[in-house]
């Protein structure tokens, strides 16, 4: 009896699939670059590096302290705190990358840091940094500058936050920082906290906004400008300046914690200048929310998101 055609095709396809198996991955990633190690307290060192590259994909990083592995981190993490160190001790840190096949890169050149000496009990935080300024540095970087904080002992570190997440740590003697790995044509909002040797952190600085330069050939930024968010009596109030599109902007889309929340639509002509919108928080007091806004442009497409704003519900 003649074999069914479908069965014959299935066998051919199965054999063909076996013959196209990918070769094993034996190429290790390149070593990470730009490693820094900064001690901000008597027991902690903050380690940062720039992403490694691989012929397929980097899947994680291993942090070494004095030649011994102390942390394994996912590929999306490019900084970490090494804690539990002894006061006044010097350590050497390095990082190596790994891929899905288990290949590991060479370790970076070591970066050394000495933990601060232990001091008497200190419960007083530094003052908040003042006059934080942010300026784009091309399409993927930014430069921050600020006025130094004051402390009853001394400031040992400055922590940079973006949308409530720490993205950079600078030494306590610094008043500038350069941030890399940003996206072209994107609005950002940064805040800064000062920290002392006892890990007391200052209040946040006022936010500093910037928009990175667009990629070559990309349209100009079309995000709502100068978004502010306040909360009182369980209600959140937003104010912003719509983008200048040459025509009235009647629709804005609000996202909370990265998810769509509502569309703000003006029933009549939109207000001139600053716009305001208030809504009930519908979450418990003390909850911290991250808000972004974008406008619908005259051609019907949605513009860029505003710089994010965090607000604590009160």
Question: pLDDT band for position 16 (50/70/90)?
Answer: very low
State the pLDDT confidence band at 244, using cuts at 50, 70 and 90. confident
Q: Give me 294's structure tokens.
A: 């974008």
Taking 60 as the threshold, does the pLDDT of residue 108 lie above it? yes
* pLDDT at 233 exceeding the cut of 60: yes
pLDDT (0 to 100) of residue 9: 38
Q: Which residues pair with 239 in a beta bridge?
A: 228, 276
Please report, for residues 172, 187, 189, 222, the alpha-carbon distance to residue 142 in angstroms, rounded to integers and kept in the order given.
20, 11, 11, 19
Residue 9: phi and psi, rounded to 5, are: -65, -40
- For tokens 């704003």, the residue is 309
Q: What is the pLDDT of residue 270?
A: 82
Q: How far apart are CA 52 and CA 12, in angstroms?
A: 41
Q: Which of 60, 66, 61 is nearest to 93 (CA)?
A: 66
Cα dist from 124 to 38, 173, 259, whole Å: 22, 19, 38
* Three-class DSSP category at 196: strand
Residues 175 and 145: their CA atoms lie apart, in Å, by 6
């Amino acid at each position: 009896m003649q074999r069914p055609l479908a069965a014959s095709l299935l066998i051919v396809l199965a054999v063909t699939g076996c013959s196209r198996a990918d070769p094993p991955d034996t190429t290790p990633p390149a070593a990470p670059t730009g490693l820094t190690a900064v001690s901000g307290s008597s027991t902690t060192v903050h380690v940062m590096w720039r992403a490694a590259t691989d012929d397929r994909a980097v899947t994680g990083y291993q942090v070494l302290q004095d030649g011994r592995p102390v942390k394994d981190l996912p590929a999306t993490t490019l900084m970490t705190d090494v804690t539990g160190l002894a006061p006044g001790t010097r350590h050497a840190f390095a990082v190596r990358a790994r891929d899905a096949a288990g290949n590991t890169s060479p370790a970076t050149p070591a970066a050394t840091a000495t933990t601060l000496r232990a001091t008497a009990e200190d419960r007083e935080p530094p003052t908040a940094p003042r006059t934080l300024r942010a300026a784009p540095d091309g399409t993927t970087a930014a430069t921050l500058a600020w006025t130094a904080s004051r402390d009853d002992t001394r400031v040992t570190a400055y922590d940079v936050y973006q949308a409530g997440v720490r993205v950079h740590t600078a030494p306590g003697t610094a008043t500038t920082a350069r941030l890399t790995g940003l996206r072209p044509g994107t609005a950002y909002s940064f805040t800064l906290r000062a920290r002392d040797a006892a890990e007391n952190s200052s209040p946040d600085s006022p936010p500093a906004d910037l928009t990175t330069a667009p990629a070559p050939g990309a349209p100009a930024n079309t995000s709502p400008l100068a978004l502010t968010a306040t909360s009182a009596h369980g209600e959140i109030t937003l104010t912003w300046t719509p983008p200048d599109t040459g025509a009235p902007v009647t629709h804005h889309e609000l996202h909370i914690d990265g998810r769509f929340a509502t569309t703000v639509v003006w029933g009549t002509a939109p207000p001139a200048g600053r716009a305001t919108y208030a809504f009930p928080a519908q979450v418990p007091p003390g909850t911290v929310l991250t808000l972004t806004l974008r406008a619908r442009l005259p051609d019907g497409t949605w513009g860029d998101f505003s710089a994010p704003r965090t607000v604590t519900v009160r």
